[in-house]
Amino acid sequence: MNILPYNYKSNRVCTRCLMDDSVRGISFDDKGECTFCKIHDELEGKFPLNEDTPNRLSELVTKIKSDGRRKKYDCILGVSGGRDSTYTLYSAVKLGLRPLAVHFDNGWNSEIAVQNIENACKILKVDLHTHVADWEEFKDLQRSFLFSSVPDAEVPTDWVIFSVLFAEAARYGVKYIIHGHSFRTEGTTPLTWTYMDGRYVNDIQRRYGKLNLKSFPNMGIIKYIYYSLIKNIQQIRILYYLPYNEKDVLEILQSELGWRNYGDKHHESKYTAFFQAYILTRKFNIDKRKLHYSAKVRNEQLTREEALQVIRKDPYTGGLELLDYCLKKLDLSYDEFDKIMSSPPKSFRDYKSYYDLVKLLKVPIKWANSIGIVPDTVYNKYFKFQV
């Protein structure tokens, strides 16, 4: 089997960042700046880094500590072994918080990622809970998403992590989940690139899967409402309040936590490295490097010209070795994989989901966003950027 060629495809590119018209529904203003730059600027206005930022962060931390008094943990924090989640854990501990680190083991972790998690938790003296999926079940779910022909094949991992974090927060009576996302380093993902909810996961598994999912939670909308409104579990992104220079962060993690680099962003998982760099770019003309490099350009950590040069290069460097490894692990033949790659792309709109219901609930969701129940990344994705 030959490696399919990589082609950088776009007609119009934002004059400020790297996002382009390969994103369905993107728009540009009279200066040529895109939708996602506007989202970035709105978030900068809401979460500015100025002389008052330390006070706002201090108030938030004080609130988390107060609500967590007499409890074993005052927050739940997801860890993957990647740079952002590790730095978020490091920052939370330095701020005096008492997190429970939670990891979802889906069977794809690289050895480096596992060691990064263990080192960070040991050095920072943080308890770690690892939820291990039954491999046959999770493999069946991943295969289902590949055969469904949607660009959301990372959703089984992302949504289960989300579900596990809420379940652990409810288990310990904790009101805060701290995420490692920052719009300054990751941007806002287009809805057409990644959509996820429990009904969507169930529908794809029902159509293409063979096994019932029992070894990991798949949070539906009723459960999410219960966790958010009844249990009052809120989602916090402390990196919004901290300056984030990639070079400085790497130096801190390496010197203080023994953290090791695993390659490109989010490539702590071998499956992520393969899916994002090979399947997304070849089949869907989606290159997620545009998100991350655009964020770095907006924050002047990289010039636009330098970033454009990077994304014109093929992101896939695994060759036939990584391809063979992933197909064997997923029990996919080369013929099956050829069918997956050649089948017409679909979107979440071709399957059942809660999307239409979410759109109908725009006003209450906006209110929930204003008090922290629905995070800005979710609100902006669904309502600032239209499909």
In Å, how far from its chain's centre is CA 158? 6
Average pLDDT over residues 217-233: 92
Three-class HEC string of 166-183: HHHHHHHCCCEEECCCCH
User: Per the structure block, which two tokens stand in for 224?
Assistant: 């999410």
Which range of 3-7, 225-229, 344-348 scores highest in mean pLDDT? It is: 344-348
User: Residue 78 pairs with which residues in a beta bridge?
Assistant: 102
36, pLDDT greater than 60: yes
pLDDT tens-digit map of 150-161? 999 999 999 999
193, pLDDT greater than 90: yes
User: Per the structure block, which two tokens stand in for 300?
Assistant: 């002047």
Residue 361: predicted pLDDT = 77
| Cα–Cα distances in angstroms (integers) from residue 54 to residues 41, 58, 60, 131, 252, in the given order | 20, 6, 10, 34, 20
pLDDT, greater one: 124 or 359: 124
In Å, how far from its chain's centre is CA 220? 19
pLDDT, greater one: 185 or 314: 314
In Å, how far from its chain's centre is CA 106? 15
Residue 137: predicted pLDDT = 96
Residue 109: predicted pLDDT = 87
User: Per the structure block, which two tokens stand in for 270?
Assistant: 């071998």
From the list 168, 154, 133, 232, the residue with the least C-alpha distance to 200 is 154
**Percentage of the chain exceeding pLDDT 90:** 81
Residue 150: predicted pLDDT = 98
User: Per the structure block, which two tokens stand in for 91?
Assistant: 């920052």
Do 74 and 65 touch, CB atoms closer than 8 A? yes
Dihedrals phi, psi of 132, to nearest 5 degrees? -100, 125
Mean pLDDT, the chain, rounded, equals: 91
pLDDT level of residue 345 (50, 70, 90 thresholds): very high
User: Residue 104 pairs with which residues in a beta bridge?
Assistant: 131
Determine how many CB atoms are found less than 10 A away from the CB of residue 166: 22
pLDDT level of residue 374 (50, 70, 90 thresholds): low
pLDDT tens-digit map of 301-329? 999 999 999 999 999 999 999 999 999 99
pLDDT level of residue 376 (50, 70, 90 thresholds): low
| Cα–Cα distances in angstroms (integers) from residue 281 to residues 108, 160, 315, in the given order | 20, 24, 8
4-13 long-range Cβ contacts below 8 angstroms, 24+ apart: 4/278, 4/282, 4/341, 6/281, 6/282, 6/314, 6/315, 6/316, 8/287, 8/311, 8/312, 9/285, 13/308
Q: Which CATH number fits domain 53-284+316-384: 3.30.1490.100, 3.30.70.1140, 3.40.50.620, 3.40.50.80?
A: 3.40.50.620
Residue 106: predicted pLDDT = 93
105, pLDDT greater than 80: yes
| Cα–Cα distances in angstroms (integers) from residue 206 to residues 158, 282, 295, 315, 352, in the given order | 19, 27, 37, 33, 11
Average pLDDT over residues 269-276: 91
For residue 82, the SS3 value is coil
pLDDT level of residue 92 (50, 70, 90 thresholds): very high
**pTM score of the predicted model:** 0.90
Do 40 and 188 touch, CB atoms closer than 8 A? yes
